[in-house]
């Protein structure tokens, strides 16, 4: 044992294919505790064979916060540092030593580097801070879904941030998220003025194609007095615009993207979404205008709310196409080359290369 007692805890169900990888990542901890919520495969057997403490309990009705809290209850009270993970997450090796060098007796929680989505070469596509390392006795999990760790200590919460510890997320794409919508509706019913939950519910309605419900819910989010985080407000406005586009109401869609740009002018996302809207309307002059504005923004904030398409090849792809239709072939070639060099999406390789061939042929004429 190091200078602190470190315990990992998790919930799982039917994740036997992740067990070995997860355990090898987590075994730097002193002890590992898992609440299995009803596996029918070999998850429990494999975990126990590796020396993991496993308790089996079905949570009915299902709630993520209840499951998380029951898994935390498994962790001994004399634990100094709790590390909450899922079985599809992997720590970069050496995390325990770094954790002990950062933590001190007054620390209550640690925010660390989380690669939520990686490309096929293991390069991060979505990266932000996550805050699931905490002391033992001052936290509970809240909300039926998109659960958060809430501080319940009597003294001031002391949070630290580090880029020295990284977790990579390799999601199980076969798992359904069908429970999310009813759980989010329940979450908002329980706490109707929780701005985060209302935003998530509006987004979920959008995912389900419930355009009008999404618009109404996201507008309600924006009206809440606690909805002050500009990045999230900007996202609600962008999502409202997407819904109006699907309803064929493009003037209203543009209006909401204009609002989003004013709300968070330091984010690329509303500018790129406006460029995509104009691309779908074949207005290439406007596409170019908003892409160039987006490129003026150089800082990529470290939050979950940024869109992948704002920082990948998309802007350069759109610019190449726009310059092509303006008959500015040299600029079109320049930007398609950047798009090709920036692209990490294998599904786009052939299309981009074909675009380049068309541009080069046009340049020869």
Sequential pLDDT tens for the chain (365 residues): 578 999 999 999 999 999 999 999 999 999 999 999 999 999 999 999 999 999 999 999 999 999 999 999 999 999 999 999 999 999 999 999 999 999 999 999 999 999 999 988 888 889 999 999 999 999 999 999 999 999 999 999 999 999 999 999 998 877 777 789 999 999 999 999 999 999 999 999 999 999 999 999 999 999 999 999 999 999 999 999 999 999 999 999 999 999 999 999 999 999 999 999 999 999 999 999 999 999 999 999 888 888 999 999 999 999 999 999 999 999 999 999 999 999 888 889 899 999 999 999 988 87
Considering the domain architecture, whether residues 158 and 201 belong to the same structural domain is answered as no
Considering the domain architecture, whether residues 31 and 76 belong to the same structural domain is answered as yes
169: tokens are 């997320």
pLDDT for position 177 = 76
Torsion of CA 208, 212, 213, 216, to 10 degrees: 140
Considering the domain architecture, whether residues 71 and 33 belong to the same structural domain is answered as yes
Last residue of a domain, one of 311, 330, 347: 311
Last residue of a domain, one of 136, 169, 202: 169
3-state secondary structure of 330: helix
State how many domains the chain has.
Answer: 2
Which residues constitute the domain of residue 260?
180-311
Considering the domain architecture, whether residues 39 and 142 belong to the same structural domain is answered as yes
Query: Does any domain span residue 259?
Result: yes
CATH number at residue 195: 1.25.40.10
pLDDT for position 1 = 59
Query: Does any domain span residue 128?
Result: yes
Considering the domain architecture, whether residues 158 and 184 belong to the same structural domain is answered as no
Sequential DSSP letters for 234-277: HHHHHHHHHHHHHTT-HHHHHHHHHHHHHH-TT-SHHHHHHHHH
pLDDT for position 346 = 82
Considering the domain architecture, whether residues 46 and 99 belong to the same structural domain is answered as yes
Considering the domain architecture, whether residues 213 and 134 belong to the same structural domain is answered as no
Query: Does any domain span residue 358?
Result: no
Considering the domain architecture, whether residues 157 and 272 belong to the same structural domain is answered as no
Residue 32: strand pairing partners: 8
Last residue of a domain, one of 272, 287, 311: 311
pLDDT for position 71 = 98
CATH number at residue 155: 3.90.550.10
pLDDT for position 347 = 85
């Amino acid at each position: 044992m190091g200078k602190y007692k470190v315990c990992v805890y998790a919930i799982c169900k039917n994740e036997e294919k992740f067990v070995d990888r997860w355990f090898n990542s987590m075994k730097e901890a002193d002890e590992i505790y898992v609440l299995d919520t009803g596996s029918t495969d070999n998850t429990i057997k494999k975990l126990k064979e590796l020396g993991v403490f496993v308790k089996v309990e079905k949570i009915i009705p299902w709630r993520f916060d209840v499951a998380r809290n029951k898994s935390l209850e498994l962790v001994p009270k004399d634990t100094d540092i709790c590390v909450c993970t899922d079985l599809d997450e992997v720590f970069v090796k050496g995390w325990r030593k770094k954790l002990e060098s950062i933590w001190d007796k007054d620390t209550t929680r640690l925010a660390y580097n989380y690669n939520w989505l990686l490309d096929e070469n293991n390069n991060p596509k979505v990266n932000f801070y996550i805050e699931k390392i905490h002391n033992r006795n001052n936290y509970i999990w809240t909300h039926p879904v998109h659960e958060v760790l809430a501080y319940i200590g009597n003294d001031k919460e002391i949070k630290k941030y580090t880029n020295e510890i990284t977790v990579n997320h390799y999601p199980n794409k076969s798992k359904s998220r069908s429970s999310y919508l009813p759980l989010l509706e329940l979450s908002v019913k329980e706490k109707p003025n929780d701005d985060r939950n209302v935003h998530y519910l509006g987004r979920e309605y959008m995912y389900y194609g419930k355009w009008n419900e999404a618009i109404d819910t996201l507008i309600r989010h924006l009206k809440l007095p606690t909805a002050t985080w500009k990045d999230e407000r900007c996202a609600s406005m962008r999502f409202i615009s997407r819904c109006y586009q699907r309803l064929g109401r493009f003037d209203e869609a543009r209006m909401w993207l204009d609002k989003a740009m004013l709300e968070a002018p330091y984010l690329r996302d509303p500018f790129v979404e406006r460029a995509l809207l104009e691309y779908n309307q074949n207005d290439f002059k406007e596409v170019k205008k908003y892409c160039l504005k987006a490129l003026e923004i150089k800082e990529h904030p470290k939050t979950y709310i940024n869109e992948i398409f704002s920082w990948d090849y998309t802007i350069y792809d759109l610019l190449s196409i726009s310059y092509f239709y303006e008959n500015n072939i040299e600029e079109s070639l320049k930007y398609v080359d950047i798009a090709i060099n920036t692209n990490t999406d294998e599904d786009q390789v052939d299309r981009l290369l074909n675009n380049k061939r068309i541009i080069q042929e046009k340049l020869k004429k």
